[in-house]
Structures are given as C-alpha cells and as structure tokens.
C-alpha cells in the first residue's frame, strides 16, 4: 500500500483522486511514497528512502531539488497548463497596470477628503497612461501561458511578436496566425513597446532581464513578469527604471528592493490564486501520481521522459537507469538469465536518465531473484515491482 504526504493546502477535488484508489494521504505521513505540494520549498527537507515521486500542483518547480531527486530515481511532476488561464488573466491585467497607473491612482484617491470630485479632476492628469491598442507586445516564451497571453493581446488590438526557440508543435497549433515569429530575442526586444516574459528559471534564464537586455530595448519600454522573479537582475532593472529606460515594471514577485523602486507595481504572487486554478492543478498532480504509483506511467515529468504503456493485468516492473549504451541489452539479458519472458516493453530516455517499463508473462518463483539481479546491474538506479499479477 502506498501513502502520500500532502504539503500546503491541496484542493479537495485533487485529493478525491487518492480516495478513489484507496491511497492514504496525510500532512503527517511517515515513510511516504510520494509528495504532493504547491509552493513549499523542500530543498532542505530530509526524504525517506521510500520516496518514489513528487508532484508539484503548479507549473514552477524551483522549490524542489530536482537534481537530487534525479540521482535517486525519484520522478518529479508538474502541471503545465493547469493554471494557464489564471496567470494569463493576471498578465493581461498587468499590461493594463503597466500603462494606466491604475494602482497609483487608487492609492492616491483613498486619501482624498472634502470636495473629492474637484480633487479628482485636478489630480487625474498625474496618472495618464497610453492605451494598449496599436502597441507592440513582445512575448518571450510561447508555452501554455505565453500562447494564451499572445492570443488575447491580439484580440485587444496589439501587434504581437513571439519568441521561443523551444516551442513544441502542440503549442504552435494554438497560436493565432496574426502573431509574428521572431527567431532573434534581441530583435524582439528592440521592436517591443511592452514585454511579457513566460519562461522557466534555469541556468540560461536566471537574470536574463539585465543591463544588456534592457540596453537593446526601446526607451520607455514596459515590462510585465508573471513567470518568476529570478528571471530579473533587480539592480539592473532598478537602474533602468530610475533613468526612464523602463517606464514601468509589473511583477507577481515582490522583493524589498523592487517595492522601494519607482514605477513598479508589485502583485503578491496571485498568478495561480484562483479556486479554478488550484483545483485544476491539484487534480492533474494527483492523477499523475496515481498513474505512476499504480502503473508506472509518467506524464508531465520535469526530469524523466514521458513513458506510458497501457496496463493489461500482467506483472509490471519499472526500471530507472543511466542513459548509456548497452543498458537495454543488460536489462533484457538479466530477465533471460532468470528464465522470465518479457511480454511487452517500452524504453524512453531524457538527458542522463532512461526509464523502462516491462510487463512479463509470469513473475513466478524467480521473481524476487530477478529484482535482486536487476538492482545489481551497474547503471541501474532503481527497480520497482509496480504490479504483481
């Protein structure tokens, strides 16, 4: 029997998926096999040897030590697209906030007393800002959220340019034909009146909005960031805000420095904070965990390849191994040596890791010896008996 540790508040509709399969879950679980969480940072959290998988109910996963998990053969899932509409809506709101000085005006108006109408007419000129229609929006990253932002901006009358060297076919199908495709990031930055960024944080993107990036932008560019705060070099951005190179910066990731900077609007990380988004993320994360625990199938992993093999009721074994030559041969030879016939098999690789699902005709008396022999093979990281017929 598997058990799941819940961290953060997980939407009830997500937890229903564990109850349907009689998988116990608890915020106090010990020696658990899986974790489902939202934004809680678990980099320093000690994990039991029993841990098989971690599911992030959300798209970002920098709160999880993915490299450490990979070394141990632990699958990390996220839920791309589940909160896309929520973040898209807030990003569009961010574009408007970057233009119209709405937040500043609201704060100013709250202190008005007496003849409020006259004060409003006299003071509103301080909050004048441009309309979005006819302006050029550069969207960096055209995944689920970026594509939705780009399409909506077209509907608002903006000219939209998109940049994403890693765009997949599914994402491309969802893009409006009116969106221009830029293959050079510098060209997109130079042409954009507004820039919205939608990329994950990694070694190549951390601090990408820096002095060099901003130097190539139009004077008075307006930037919205509802992806991750680490994408921005704060000192470089603040310098650009001070001199007017950047007219406005709206972000979902406040920091002490940015809160004190001029022409910034800091939203308190509300991107996915809608009941619909939290439910969608929880449901997707829970279903992915159940599919992995029960059948070994992997969908939407950030460190393992998508690997799905329909379950037909036979004994199933899952193997995590280094992605090096001759590993498949070693695995199949081990089965043959133990006299166990392979009925069906799928192998997928991603980077330094590979994942194999194998169904066998009969586990028999040699089954436990097979598992022991597999674990002894050089290059095999983890072996799990998923289902026993």
Would you please indicate which residues are annotated as catalytic (active-site) residues?
228, 256, 269
Helix (H) or strand (E) holding 34: strand 34-37
Residue 34 token pair: 């899986």
Give the residue among 342, 324, 337 at the shortest CA–CA distance from 380: 324
Burial of 231 (0-12, 13-18, 19+ CB in 10 A): buried
Q: Cα–Cα distance between 330 and 332 in angstroms, integer? A: 6
Contact 299, 288 (CB under 8 A): yes
Q: Cα–Cα distance between 1 and 22 in angstroms, integer? A: 9
Residue 377 token pair: 């093979």
Sign, CA torsion 282/86/245/241 = negative
Contact 77, 288 (CB under 8 A): yes
Contact 351, 304 (CB under 8 A): no
Dihedral class, residue 123 (left if φ above 0, else alpha if ψ from -120 to 50, else beta):
alpha
Q: Cα–Cα distance between 288 and 55 in angstroms, integer? A: 8
Q: How far apart are the first and last CA of the chain?
A: 15
CA dist 262 to 189, 243, 265, 300, Å? 22, 10, 9, 40
* 86: three-class secondary structure by DSSP: helix
166 CB contacts (<8 Å, ≥6 apart)? none
Q: Cα–Cα distance between 365 and 367 in angstroms, integer? A: 6
């Amino acid at each position: 029997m598997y058990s799941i540790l819940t961290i953060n508040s997980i939407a009830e509709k997500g937890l229903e998926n564990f109850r349907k399969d009689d998988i116990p879950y608890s915020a106090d679980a010990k020696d658990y096999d899986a974790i489902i969480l939202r934004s809680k940072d678990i980099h320093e959290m000690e994990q039991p040897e029993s841990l098989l998988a971690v599911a992030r109910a959300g798209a970002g996963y920098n709160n999880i030590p993915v490299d450490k998990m990979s070394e141990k053969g632990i699958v990390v899932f996220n839920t791309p697209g589940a909160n896309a509409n929520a973040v898209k809506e807030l990003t569009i709101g961010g574009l408007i906030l970057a233009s119209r000085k709405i937040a500043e005006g609201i704060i100013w108006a709250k202190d008005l007393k007496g003849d409020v109408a006259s004060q409003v007419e006299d003071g509103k000129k301080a909050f004048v800002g441009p309309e979005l229609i006819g302006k050029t929006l550069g969207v960096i990253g055209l995944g689920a959220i970026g594509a939705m932002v780009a399409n909506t901006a077209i509907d608002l009358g903006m000219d939209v340019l998109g940049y994403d060297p890693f765009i997949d076919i599914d994402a491309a199908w969802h893009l409006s034909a009116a969106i221009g495709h830029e293959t050079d990031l510098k060209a997109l930055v130079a042409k954009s009146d507004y820039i919205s960024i939608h990329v994950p944080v990694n070694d190549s993107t951390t601090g990408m909005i820096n002095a060099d990036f901003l130097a190539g932008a139009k004077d008075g560019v307006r930037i919205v960031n509802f992806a991750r705060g680490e994408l921005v070099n704060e000192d470089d951005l603040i310098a650009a805000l001070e001199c007017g190179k950047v007219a406005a910066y709206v972000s979902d990731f406040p920091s002490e420095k940015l809160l004190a900077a001029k022409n910034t609007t800091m939203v308190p990380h509300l991107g996915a904070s809608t009941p619909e988004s939290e439910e969608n993320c929880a449901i997707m994360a829970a279903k992915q965990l159940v599919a992995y625990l029960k059948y070994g199938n992997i969908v939407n992993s950030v460190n393992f390849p998508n690997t799905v093999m329909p379950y037909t009721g036979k004994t199933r074994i899952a193997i995590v191994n280094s992605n090096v030559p001759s590993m498949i041969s070693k695995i199949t030879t081990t089965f043959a040596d133990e006299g166990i016939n392979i009925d069906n098999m799928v192998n997928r690789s991603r980077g330094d890791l590979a994942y194999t699902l194998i169904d066998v005709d009969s586990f028999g008396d040699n089954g436990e010896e097979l598992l022991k022999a597999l674990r002894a093979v050089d290059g095999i990281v983890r072996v799990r008996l998923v289902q026993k017929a």
